[in-house]
Each structure stands twice: as C-alpha cells, then as structure tokens.
Chains A and B, each alone.
Chain A
Amino acid sequence: MSDITIEQIDEFRWKIPARGGMRVPGLLYASERLMRDIRKEESPRQVSNVAHLPGIQGASMAMPDMHWGYGFPIGGVAAFDLNEGIVSPGGVGYDINCGVRLLATNLKYEEIQHDLKSLVVALFNTVPSGVGSRGTIRLTRGEVKKVLREGAQWAVGHGYGTPEDLTATEDGGVMEGADPDCLSDRALERGLDQLGTLGSGNHFLEIEVVDQVYDREAARAFGIEPGQVVVMIHSGSRGLGYQICDEYLARMVKKRQSRDFDLPDRQLACAYIQSGEGREYLAAMACAANYAWANRQVLMHLASKVFQSVLDRSPRDMGMRLVYDVCHNIATIEDCLVEGVEKRVCVHRKGATRARPPGHPALPDRYRSVGQPVLIPGDMGSGSYLLAGTEQAWRETFGSTCHGAGRVMSRTQAKKVSARRSVAADLEKQGVIVMASGRGTLREEIPEAYKNIHEVINVVHEAGLSRKVARMKAVACIKG
C-alpha cells in the first residue's frame, strides 16, 4: 500500500490525490481506527484504480465498510457521465441487486419468545437455502422473462405480497429497460428454479428485535419502536445474476484492446454506456435486478406464511408490513448532485446503499419528511441498523452510504480461528438461535470476521452520510 498517498481531510474523510492516470481524486470515509485495517489491504488502491475510468464524476469513493474486492473495492461508489462514461459489470458485482428488506410486525418479543425455536425450524424448512438451492416455484422460459421485466410486480401479481409492498421497494421493485433478449440461454436457465431461494454465504433471514431507537420522529415514520419484532432478509439475484455478470465481464475483457483507455486491473473491464455492449449490459443487469426484487418479495411472503402458521395469527393481526427494500450491488441511471449541480449519471454502488434525503420526490409520502429508510445488516451477533438518508449524502456521495459491516477476516482465517468451538452454541449463549445449511457457513460468518458494525455506523452518522434511526438485535437467524 506504500505507493498510495492518503491525506486526512477531517476526522472521517481521507483523500487520495489524483495522480498518474487518475481522472478524479479518491475519497475514503473511515475513522482513524478503521483506517488502520484499511491501510493494510488493497481497497485504497482499488479506489484509485476506479478513478482511472473514463467519465468518472467528482471522486471515486469508498464507504467505511470498504474491503478488498476484485476490480472495484467492496463499499465503492462511483458515478459516470452518460455520454463519456462507462458502465462496468465488475462495478456492480456478480450478485446483481443483492440487497436487504425489512419486514415490520406489531409483535413484541414476549409474544414470540416461546415459539421462537418452532419459528426458526419452520423458517429453515420452508425457505430454501444453501448452495444451489431450488425453489418451489418452477418457471417456464416465458414466465421467467415476465419476472425479468416486471420484478417485484410479477411476484405481487401472483399473490406473493400486496401492492403496498411495491411502494416500499426501491424504484417500486422494477427497474426500467430490462430486456430478456440480452440474456444467454445459460443465464435464463439458471433463473428457472431459483426464485424464492435465499442462497448461501452471507445471505440470511433473521428475526430481530428493535433494541434501541435514536431518532423518534424517523422511527415513528418508519413504524418502528423499541421491543418490536422485525424480520430482515438479505439475498439477491442468485445464479441468474452471477451468470449475467460473468458473461458480460468476459465479453468486455475480450474487447479491452479495442478501447481507447488502459485498465489498471482487468476485472475493471467496462464499456461506454452509449455503446452497444454498454446498453446491452444495462438491459441484462436490469433483468437480474428485477429477478432479485421478485426473489426477496417471494422470500418475504414465505416468511410471513411461517409466522401465520406457527403463531396462528393473520398477517393483518400481526401488523406485517414491508418497511423498505434496498439494493447494494447495482448501477442505476439517476439524477444526482455532481459538484452542486443536478445531473443524470450512472451510479455504481458495489456494496453501498442508496440513501435519499428528506423531501426527495421518489420517496413514498410517509417517508418524505424524514428521508429514505436505509437497512444495514451487521454480523450475526452484533445486530443491524435502520438509518435515514440525508442532505449531506445527497450533496457529497450521490446519495449513498455504507451497506454492512464489511469483512476484516478471510473466510479461511475465520474457519481456522473458530475451529475448536461451536459457533451455534456461542451465539445461543448470546441469545441468537442459528440454523445453517452449509457445514462451513457459520464458521465463515463468525462475528469476529467482520468490522465492528457500530464503528462503521458511527462513521456514516458522524460524517452525515445517513442518520441513525434504530438498532435491531438478532434473536434468530437462518443461513444458507
């Protein structure tokens, strides 16, 4: 890391001056303590690499949960001019529209405490999880194309949820411009049987209890209060999304020599937004984004059904309601402030979350006065956060904030340090019941493998990129 110059701007902002082929500076959000780990790894270099890409606006940024990715850093945010800029499949990631949704209930912890184990077992048996898991929904090729065009609307139209859910989903749960003809047969095939499946790795479905409220006005607008039971779901576009990213990346790597610019890392392969390839990638990416929204909509429906059957109460009686759904691996064409001027750009958020400010016209009426709900999952032991978007983020980061805790420990290292203990038993002592399909998943996902989520949240809160609204503590978790 020695050849990357990092200058401290203030307590939470660090600048990488534009040098060599960098078209803009790099801007890192972190505390001194987080910087100690960040300096040791490759993410600052990756921030600098992204700054080389044509048409980049303002700065190449990274949120405090940043860590070494491939090409773009995880936690990276970069916006590109629509005429001169590029779109990069690696800047979105393999799991296109990986994201989080939060389902609120009016249940108190005491009301589910005695049924918690039954709930976890029933969720584990009902929600397909694990490597290559297949769903109960089998789609024909024609039907999967409808999912790809209609996103969460398809799911609601088929009885998985209600129209109100769509108003609580980013972009109404459907990204415009999706064209299934831009997908290969391989990608389409992988979408036939994975709708309504959680997947593996860090994806999860968690029952959480609100343990602290920081901003009462925003919490009220979001319908959140202390002691309340909520459900958080983290999943994405499954094999279909991986296949799309993989194939478009390969196409763009192949054509790299015909570009008029050099790439510091092959994984940054990209195409001009206005080129045929660029447009086709965006149309294919939109398909995966829609598949992911439909997926999380179906997953939420499955969770809601489990609550109904185990607790023997109706969804209305339990006050079940989607608070919000955000994606954190995506490129979107949106109007943002670029150095003080509103401009339509292509924002890449790779492990970063959109966070729109109070008053933004795209927010549902009930949230407009307080800003967009932002959902930040933590590790299994530390809990998760509900934040709200701010004016500051709108001015500074194209309306973006962090997406999670961010790893500090590799998966192999995590397995090694947890080799002699029972992760499930340790978590149970902390009051979290966990069930996982994969043998190694719990070991890889031990709380110590992640940065301190409270520290990450503190940085975005203090830097003004989003406002703390509430904290949720997990009481049960199912993982792939």
Chain B
Amino acid sequence: MAHPPYTITDHTADLGLEFYGTDLEDLFENAGAALTACMTDPETLSFREEYFFSAEGGDREELMVNVLRELLYLANGRGFLTKRVIIDHLDEHRCSGRVLGETFDADRHAITQELKAVTYHGARVTGGDAGGLKGQVILDV
C-alpha cells in the first residue's frame, strides 16, 4: 500500500509533519503540499497563479527546511497558497522551482491553522519504510 502523502505528528507545543517521496525531488514536492494541507484545505485551491522560488542549504535537511521556509513566506508574507510544487532544478546545495496555487480569498478559503515558522529542530530526511524517502520537520504554530 502506498504511504499517505503526509502525516501530522504530535509535538507538545508545535506541529510535527512527516511526508514521503520516491526521491528527493518528489519528497520536496510532497513536503510543500503537506505544508499547505496544515494551513488550509488544498481542495479549495485552484491553479490560478505561479510563483518561482529558490533556496540553498549546506545539506539536504537544511535545503528542505529552506525550501519550506520560502513557501511559508509566500503564504504568510504574500498571501499565496501553494497547491502544487514543481521542482525544476535540484542539486546538493540548491533547489529552485515553481509553485502553483492562488492568493488567499476569504470567501473561498479558510485558514485552519496559522504556521509561524518551519524550524530546523528535528529536521530529518531518512529512508522510508517501503523504500523511497521520509522527511520530517517541526512547525512552530
């Protein structure tokens, strides 16, 4: 059976998030979708707009957190909600790509949870149980 795309795990004050991918690119794309799912119902979002993003990191954990930090900034700073992430380039230290989604509209979208930040605490990329990769981050809420 395929893994669910993401799981919310317990952390006393904050929110733990786990996601899965066949490779790092897939993992990062799913991480972005999982981040959105913590904030709002992705079903209510459409592909109206596109933003480009890029991030750097010393290793894959730092890179993963920094990609998610960019997406969270788009949400909190620009009001842009990501429905889908498409990675165009990924190497050891850099990641760039596009996010498709739309700007928050109070009539159609509900924010179920405010996310303050994506933390580096406990950020991990490991091999998943059924092959592939598992990513973990803790979100400050």
Contact = CB atoms under 8 A, between A and B. Distances in A.
Interface of A: 41, 67-71, 74, 90, 94-95, 131-132, 186, 189-190, 199-201, 239, 242-243, 245-246, 249-250, 253-254, 256-257, 265-267, 269, 407-413, 438-440, 480
8 contacts: A250-B69, A254-B57, A266-B123, A269-B120, A410-B15, A411-B14, A439-B112, A440-B112
Contacts of A249: 120
Contacts of B4: none
Contacts of B79: 132
Interface of B: 8, 10-15, 56-58, 61-62, 66, 69, 73, 76-77, 79, 104, 110-114, 116-117, 119-123, 138, 140-141
Contacts of B122: 70
Given A186-B73, A250-B66, A411-B141, A132 B120 contact: no
Across the A-B interface, give the 8 residue pairs with the lowest CB-CB distance, nearest first: A70-B121, A267-B121, A410-B10, A266-B120, A131-B114, A70-B119, A131-B111, A200-B114
**Residue among B15, B58, B104 having the largest count of chain A Cβ atoms under 10 Å:** B58
Nearest to A95: B116
Contact of A257 (B57, B58, B66, B76): B58
Given A407-B13, A412-B10, A245 B69 contact: no
B73 A67 contact: no
B140 to A, nearest CB: 5
A411 B11 CA distance: 8
A70 B138 contact: yes
Nearest to B137: A70
Contact of A190 (B61, B77, B113, B141): B77
B12 A410 contact: yes
A411 B12 CA distance: 7
B117 A190 contact: no
B10 A413 contact: yes
B77 A68 contact: no
Contacts of B57: 254
Given A94-B116, A413-B10, A265 B77 contact: no
**Residue among A90, A249, A250 having the largest count of chain B Cβ atoms under 10 Å:** A250
Contact of B77 (A243, A245, A269, A439): A243
Contacts of A189: 77
B117 A245 contact: yes
Contacts of A243: 73, 77
Contacts of A245: 117
Given A253-B62, A411-B141, A242 B121 contact: no
Nearest to B79: A132
Contacts of A413: 10
